[in-house]
Amino acid sequence: MASKEKYCKDYLVVDAKQASLYDIACILICSTNSLNDKFFYEERCEGSNKSTTKENLLRRWLIFNSVLAQKFLIWADTPMAKIGSFIELWLNLLACNGGFFGLVMNYVRGKMVRPSSEKFVSIVGELDSRLELDKSIAKGDGRYNSSLSMMASKLCYESKAFVKAAVEDHLKMEFIDSYEFRNDYKNTIRTHASMFQDQKSNPNLIAVAFRGTLPFNANDWMTDFDISWYELKDMSNSQTIGRIHGGFMKALGLQKIDGWPKELDPTKEQSFAYYMIRHKLKEILEKNLNAKFIVTGHSLGGALAILFAGVLGLHEETWLLKRLEGVYTFGQPRVGDERFGRYMMKIIKDHDVKYFRYVYGNDMVPRLPYDDRSLFFKHFGPSLYFNSFYHGKVMEEEPNKNYFSLVWVVPKYINAFWELIRSFILPYWKGKEYKEKNFEKLYRIFGMIVPGVAAHSPKDYMDITSLGTDLYTNHDENDE
């Protein structure tokens, strides 16, 4: 999305696929100049912040762990995919045949039911099977757009056939399409998004949802662990707008020439997420001048959603930004540095775009990458933080901002235990529609081993949009 000469200044690019074990070890003990230049290349321009010895050591340690994790994921790609497919198929067969006993009986009788593509549910979908919005939330309610956004984010994990059926049959809205996009750095399909339209709302509302990280998709996890970054400049005045997470930008549609970002190749426009979605939005909105759109996503999808708005600003897409009703993210990781945050808040203010960044409980993902001088990543805009009792509060930063604090170890385990107990009593407390299946409870048990993992589930984010405090009925988040 940017050329070396026009936009990029400082940068750090790490390609784990090209790294040998020697290269990985050298991150800790060698000069960066001795590293394989196909794996690691960095430019720190004159005037850049200088690191202390302690900060440099911590930075090397974080890069080492990032590359090591990516190398493991490269090796684990096929096994993870096979394990995930097996679990998904097993769960769907159980659901279609009425449980284990029904599956055995149907198999013996030769009548085993196999799920159709419209009904085949992903592992993420198994963690929350709701396909309709809370009927108590009417259009115009302060919670409606948030609830619709989280539903769109959850549906985006499913197949095109499933999303189409859910949108048309359950939400009673117009399905536009589901898309698969290339990552130019990985030379494969890595990014997914879905679009649908609520034609009954006034104005008509188009939802654009980016898929988050699939639990057994090694490529998604590699995008999350990739801590490469680029420093970009504003197109209008050549001023630096900040450093941006390279893994997320690559997923959104960053292209390369010898590792550098580059301008769009018009012949490949439909291959990349940002350009195709921008084109599709213009096409629809030009036919309906009263319509607006929202951009949303859960996890990795939330990072892509807010960066989509940021790149619209970078490309001076004023007309589209004026039609952007809001960006709704759920469990979104940090995407850039403090300077980029100031740039984004200016775009949000100048174009009157609402930005809702939801964080539930001890969810690990919004607290990553680390917010410190070694990696510089910071959130921007207030956090809509909800605890495990669904009580919400607008905060500058969610509690325990870097997750791995020793002070929070005991409280996190206590809260994970409470969330498991809550899974049994929630239908009696809040209503039968909140009943959790056995698989969801099993996931809660895993959350007691690694607190913060289960809290990242779309289930909890769906619940806070309906059960949580409506924080913004009388509050303008951009004035915080």
Q: Dig out the tokens for 205 from the structure.
A: 């509302």
For the chain, give the number of residues: 480
Residue with the two structure tokens 């439909």: 270
Active-site residue, from 149, 178, 299, 457: 299
Residue from 13, 43, 56 nearest 375 by CA? 56
Active-site residue, from 383, 456, 460, 463: 456
Ranges of H-type helices in 254-405: 273-285, 300-314, 318-323, 338-350
- Annotated catalytic, 299? yes
Contact between 196 and 167 (Cβ < 8 Å): yes
The one-letter amino acid code at 139 reads K
3-state secondary structure of 42: strand
Radius of gyration of the chain (CA): 22
Contact between 395 and 385 (Cβ < 8 Å): yes
Q: Dig out the tokens for 423 from the structure.
A: 């899974």
**Residues near 36 by beta carbon (within 8 Å), at least 6 away in sequence:** 18, 19, 20, 23
Q: Are strands 383-386 and 354-360 parallel, antiparallel or unpaired?
A: parallel
Contact between 155 and 210 (Cβ < 8 Å): no
Angle at the Cα of 84 (from 80 to 85), degrees rounded to 5? 120
Task: Provide the 10 A C-beta neighbour count for residue 393.
Answer: 14
- Annotated catalytic, 228? no
Could you tell me what percentage of the chain is helix, strand and coil, using 3-state DSSP and rounding each to the nearest 5?
Answer: 45, 15, 35
- Annotated catalytic, 117? no
Cα–Cα distance measured from residue 438 to residue 453, given in angstroms and rounded to the nearest whole number: 17
Q: Dig out the tokens for 45 from the structure.
A: 């321009």
What angle separates helix 100-108 from helix 53-96, to the nearest 10 degrees?
50
Question: Looking at residue 177, what DSSP letter applies?
Answer: E
**Residues near 467 by beta carbon (within 8 Å), at least 6 away in sequence:** 390, 430, 434
Active-site residue, from 128, 134, 184, 363: 363
Q: Dig out the tokens for 1 from the structure.
A: 């999305």
Contact between 301 and 251 (Cβ < 8 Å): no
Catalytic site positions:
299, 363, 456
